[in-house]
Chains A and B, each alone.
Chain A
Amino acid sequence: MTSALLEVRNVQKRFPGVHALRGVSLDFRAGEVHALVGENGAGKSTLMHILAGVHQPDEADIFLGGHLVTITDEQAAQRLGVAIVYQERSLFDLLSVAENIFSGRQPVGRWDKIDRQRLLDDARRLLADLDVELDPRTPVGDLSPALQQMVEIAKALSLQPRLLILDEPTAALIEAEKTALFRVIERLRRSGLGIIYISHRLEEIFEIAQRVTVLRDGEIQGTFRIEDTSPAELVRRMVGRDLAATAAPTSVQGPVRLEVRHLSDPVSGTGAGPFRPLLADISFTLRRGEILAWAGLSGAGRTELALSLFGARPRGAGTILLDGEPRSIASPADAIAAGMGYLSEDRKELGLFLDMTVAENVAAAGLGRFGDWRLDDARRDGVAADFRRRLRIASPGVDAIVRGLSGGNQQKVALAKWLLIAPKVLIVDEPTRGVDVGAKAEMHALMRDLAREGTAVMVISSDLPEVLALGDRIAVMREGRVAAVLDRAQASEEGIMNHASRRDPAS
């Protein structure tokens, strides 16, 4: 048996309201790609953050090369030879490749003057090791996502690590780029590096990893040699439940409320982030009283679709019909006037006014309900108090500042903002992310109530059990398109995952 490069025993980590890691023990070996899989919230990121020194475990024994170590911070992790490439980019667009690779650690000469020649030479050597042809003087912002990924890896390798953690490295890559990345990973592995590879895409793991560990709810569900397991087994262990569909709450469904025909992004769009052109030929219908759940990998375009429908993102071709009438929705104000609501994925950045009161937040999308000229604060507080009772928002009162509430209660406030305008169509984006179990169940019940009252609900969720529990039908997106629309009866977690990640249409 190969001796472990790094071994962790009994890692415990609690965050307020979440027991993120419950006694995880695991070892990583030199010259091995060790894949880590699990649903969102399974504890993968927390474990990696502990190895990278970002978080401190509540309890853990960490052995590096057989010696007990503590990873006090990120610098300590680097000294111990652990480097991490995060899913989120950490590069400076305006600086050159070389400056990025050695940011903060540029070779210096006398008087701390940066030795530019050595900087460029070192960068060239690293890039050559990765077999990447790239002028280290190029500004990083000019590179493709794949090359930026290589720069991230070069930056990590410049620390001369013994263990390299790659978190969803292929999330932004196309097929050909992925192949190139895998060649690099394979070469690094052969050179004796230990690699931890996190991915949602199971087929990649079978392509590149030697061992795979499944995490669920902060516990290890097993570590397997890759040849001893199958995608089906991994999914079963990730999901960890009897896969029989949860009993379907029957909702009464009425006539078509929302119809979207051939919605696409503008062809010539050159935006970044959520404005990157992505959506292509999306058509679907949504009935009164129906919950349509949207599944897909991150980056598949679900949030972009929601923003486009809501007028917060430029649209190209396509028609949106509400109750059979074509609507031109050019701004969120138009969408709200047409009777649509959008509960955003990022409630702190896009949903809430954190330093304002519960009542002020509840009123935000419907100020006009409390007076055209003078706002009737007393009436507003009364309405907010009703919502506070109905949604059981645990706050000292409706004049409590929202920042002080727990994640679940903040989410209820964000939802109340949309309930106030009694929307015809409500889009909820990752409604229970970062929300504890109790509040999650309450959110689910609230959404079913809404549907029962006739609202057409779109639920975007990366939590498959949630998708199956809520959706009357399930739409699966892949790479900006609707890959499938499944009835609840035909839907299973494996089926959804297949549609979400499959590259070729054969099943």
Chain B
Amino acid sequence: MTEMTAAAPSTLAPPSRRWRLPGSPRELGLVGLIVVTCVVAAAIYPRSFATFANFSAVMRNLALDGILASGMMLLFVGGMFDLSVGATFSMVGVLTGWLMKVGGLPVPVAIAIGLAAGTLAGLVNGTIATKVRVNPLIGTLATMGIYRGVAVLIGGPGINFLPPSFSRLAQTSLFGIQAPFWLMLAVVAAFQYLLAHTRFFRQYYYIGNNAKAAQLSGINVQRLHLIGFGIMGFLAGLAGMTFAARIGTSVSIAGDGAELRVITAVILGGASLTGGRGSVVGSLIGVVFIALINNVLIVASVSSYWQSIIIGVVLVLAVAMDAIVGRRSLRPGNA
């Protein structure tokens, strides 16, 4: 302490930056909560919760939400969001299955078209938000309805018995955990790197912080928003076809409700509704937390109908906490 004051006699002594927390307080708090939940659940249900099989199941289930959350975090950082992710997920899953099964296209071609369709769906959202300037809440609510409808239109209730060469992609395991989890890890790692370190993606933080100032600093806000929606659509499509491959069936309502889980996870993981904050790793931690809660409910034999209720409550609590903390920091004197 005495060394500090001697070295920095100014009244504004800089806090030591040598030792830095490996993450935001929000992320660390959530990790703590996850650890506590695991310990408690393991103590109560040692035979059903604390098993590798259960762990593997949790990882498999959170894989697709983790892919969606990476894109959602990107949008949130830039001050946007997308309600149609679940619908895009369903639509692309069904479209890809239909192309293989009914259209008779080779698997790689169907996958490529599916990913292109997902990207296009995202670009449509982006065009509505940036060019037509419709609030993304309304714009993507509308496309959510449209994409859901298209999914049912193409696939009816679903398309069964997808080609084994397709299913195998998502059903192989490494270290006892299925491929979707490893795909998710790759996506999260890639976007964590991109958003944290690359010149292009770092611009999203500036936009989310102050879009007008970003524009006047030479950042092309519209183009970046459009690209963000495109990436979101691509990832939603990727997740949707991965799910279809894993269960060997394109289910037309497979993605319903994903938007609630993913947006909750992203907010929990440190995103702000006004933008400019958050990291992709944070969104993954949020996804893990929600998957864990779902798993504990299943292990505890609570009706699955409760899941949506509890996630909704968690979202309200997270947002309420932000609002209270935000108001405190806005009090005069801190300004």
Contacts and interface: CB of A to CB of B under 8 A. Distances in A.
A250 B85 CA distance: 63
A221 interface: no
- Which interface class (under 10, 10 to 19, 20 to 34, 35 or more) fits A? 35 or more
Interface string A348-365: 011111111000100011
Interface in B212-237: 212-220
Contact of A353 (B17, B206, B218): B206
A28 B255 CA distance: 70
A351 B213 contact: yes
Contacts of B203: 367
Given A349-B212, A352-B210, A375-B202, A397 B218 contact: no
A310 B200 CA distance: 23
A368 interface: yes
A403 B206 CA distance: 15
B37 interface: no
Given A333-B219, A371-B199, 10 more contacts: A332-B216, A332-B218, A344-B216, A355-B277, A365-B217, A373-B198, A373-B200, A374-B198, A375-B199, A403-B335
B176 interface: no
A27 to B, nearest CB: 32
5 nearest interchain CB pairs?
Answer: A336-B218, A333-B218, A353-B209, A397-B14, A365-B217
A350 B199 contact: no
A372 B220 contact: no
B215 A312 contact: yes
Contact of B199 (A332, A355, A374, A399): A374
B158 to A, nearest CB: 42
A375 B15 contact: no
A356 B12 contact: no
B309 interface: no
B220 A333 contact: yes
Contacts of B210: 349, 352-354
17 contacts: A332-B218, A333-B218, A336-B218, A349-B212, A353-B213, A353-B276, A354-B210, A355-B209, A356-B206, A356-B209, A360-B206, A364-B213, A375-B198, A394-B12, A396-B15, A403-B335, A417-B217
Contact of B217 (A332, A370, A373, A374): A332
- Which interface class (under 10, 10 to 19, 20 to 34, 35 or more) fits B? 20 to 34
Nearest to A365: B217
A400 B202 CA distance: 18
B166 interface: no
Contacts of B17: 397, 399
B130 to A, nearest CB: 14
A350 B216 contact: yes
B197 A374 contact: yes
Nearest to B8: A396
Given A333-B219, A355-B209, A396-B15, A364 B199 contact: no
Contact of B276 (A356, A374, A394, A397): A356
Residue among B209, B213, B214 with the highest chain A CB neighbour number at 10 A = B213
Residue among A344, A352, A367, A417 with the highest chain B CB neighbour number at 10 A = A367
A223 interface: no
B332 to A, nearest CB: 10
Interface in A376-413: 394-397, 399-400, 403
A371 B198 CA distance: 8
Contacts of A335: 218
Interface string A93-132: 0000000000000000000000000000000000000000
Contacts of B277: 355
Contacts of B209: 353-356
